[in-house]
Chains A and B, each alone.
Chain A
Amino acid sequence: MSSAAETMIDVRVWRGGEEGEYQSFSVPRRDSQTVLDVVTWIQRNADPTLAYRFACRVGVCGSCAMTVNGRPRWTCRTHVSKVVEDGRLEIGPLANLPVIRDLAADMSPFFDKWQKAEGTFVPSRTRHEPLETISPESAERQAADAAIECINCGVCYAACDTVRWSPEYFGPAALNRSWSLVNDVRDAGNLKRLAAAASNGGCHNCHSHQSCEQLCPKGLNPTASIAGLKRRTMQAYIRGEIS
């Protein structure tokens, strides 16, 4: 319900593709309101042509990330009260990715780089062999655990200056995935994966700014994973396993 006395938020939303402009909307302030609630309000009440992406609304699917007041955020779990500045919100598509339209960024380069980083599980056993027993306490399992909660939202990718400066760079999420698999004792694709991690777009590009860690909504630390890859690729190089 709206009333003349209710508090409004001044919301500027990016409209267009790579070329475009911010459009202003006045959106009623609500308790416990998320940034995704704000975008949805605009689409349902002010302009149904606004393009944006979301699915689960509860921080699981990783599809609703946008730039909010200059920083990439998962909008479904970002409360307006946490990010609003002087009653204003500026919402744009994720940085470092092409724009499809309005708030929808094209995630293709992000996922293409997962492939380039060999972020695919390579089984070492067939379905006819017994399942491998893995102790939850083992060092490898714990190392893999540190990276498996990634929801592929692209926040780290949009917050990475190295991605901005080196278009070839795989980015934090793809290398974080790579580190998970390097520590997966069931996986048989490590040599190819380490060769990819040591390639031009790989882990040695990272300057350890740790913006990915600062902004990861799941509290992961891709910089630590990338540092692990740097050590592991160095060891593999010294042993002559990769060139």
Chain B
Amino acid sequence: MSARPHTTGYRGDRLWLAAMVHRVSGVLLAAFLPLHFLVLGLAIRGEAELDGFLQWTKSPLVKFAEIGLVLLLAIHLLGGIRVLVIENMPWRDGQKRMATLAAVAAVGIAGVFLVALL
């Protein structure tokens, strides 16, 4: 005898994934934001300290990591617009297509950023 297992076979659909990607990107951005403010806070402690950190951010690895940040921002913004349209405008069918479009556009934006970096 054991507890009834959770049956979640309906998960993994494109729109379910879109909601999860939107949520996870939001959590990651929220985790990044305090670090961002911490860096800005360095300005209070002096010009040299901030400049020193900004110099570090110009290293190729950090620049490359920024692409991930751009992707997160684009995905969360476009996913958020999709949700706002669903909730505030008359219903439109084809939400799977809209979710795919948002994902492709977000990757495209990150791609443009990558090309600009190279």
Q: Show the binding face of A for B, using Cβ within 8 Å.
A: 14, 16, 18-21, 67, 69-72, 92-93, 95, 99, 159, 161, 164, 207-211, 214-215, 221, 223-224, 227-228, 230-231, 234
> Chain A's nearest CB lies how many Å from the CB of B101?
16
- Across the interface, name the chain A residue whose C-beta is closest to B89: A231
Q: Is the CB of B19 within 8 A of A207?
A: yes
Q: Is the CB of A14 within 8 A of B19?
A: no
B37 at the interface (CB under 8 A from A): no
Known: A209-B15, A209-B19. A92 touches B9 (CB 8 A): no
Q: Is the CB of B10 within 8 A of A69?
A: no
Q: Show the binding face of B for A, using Cβ within 8 Å.
A: 1-11, 13, 15-16, 19, 83, 86-89, 91, 95
Interface residue SS majority, chain A: mixed
Q: Which residues of A contact B11 (CB under 8 A)?
A: 161, 211
> Chain B's nearest CB lies how many Å from the CB of A171?
14
- Across the interface, name the chain A residue whose C-beta is closest to B1: A19
Q: Is the CB of A71 within 8 A of B87?
A: no
**Nearest 8 CB-CB pairings of A with B:** A70-B9, A224-B91, A71-B9, A210-B15, A159-B10, A211-B10, A67-B7, A209-B16
> Chain A's nearest CB lies how many Å from the CB of B28?
18
Known: A18-B3, A227-B91, A228-B91. A211 touches B9 (CB 8 A): no
Q: Is the CB of A230 within 8 A of B91?
A: no
> Chain B's nearest CB lies how many Å from the CB of A146?
9
Q: Is the CB of A214 within 8 A of B95?
A: no
- Across the interface, name the chain B residue whose C-beta is closest to A212: B10
Known: A208-B83, A231-B88. A16 touches B1 (CB 8 A): yes
> Chain A's nearest CB lies how many Å from the CB of B84?
11
Q: Is the CB of A92 within 8 A of B15?
A: no
Instruction: Please measure, in the bound complex, the distance between the C-alpha atom of A208 and the C-alpha atom of B91, giving whole angstroms.
Output: 12
Instruction: Please measure, in the bound complex, the distance between the C-alpha atom of A221 and the C-alpha atom of B19, giving whole angstroms.
Output: 17
Instruction: Please measure, in the bound complex, the distance between the C-alpha atom of A202 and the C-alpha atom of B13, giving whole angstroms.
Output: 24
> Chain A's nearest CB lies how many Å from the CB of B32?
23
Q: Is the CB of B87 within 8 A of A230?
A: yes
- Across the interface, name the chain B residue whose C-beta is closest to A228: B91
Instruction: Please measure, in the bound complex, the distance between the C-alpha atom of A99 and the C-alpha atom of B11, giving whole angstroms.
Output: 22
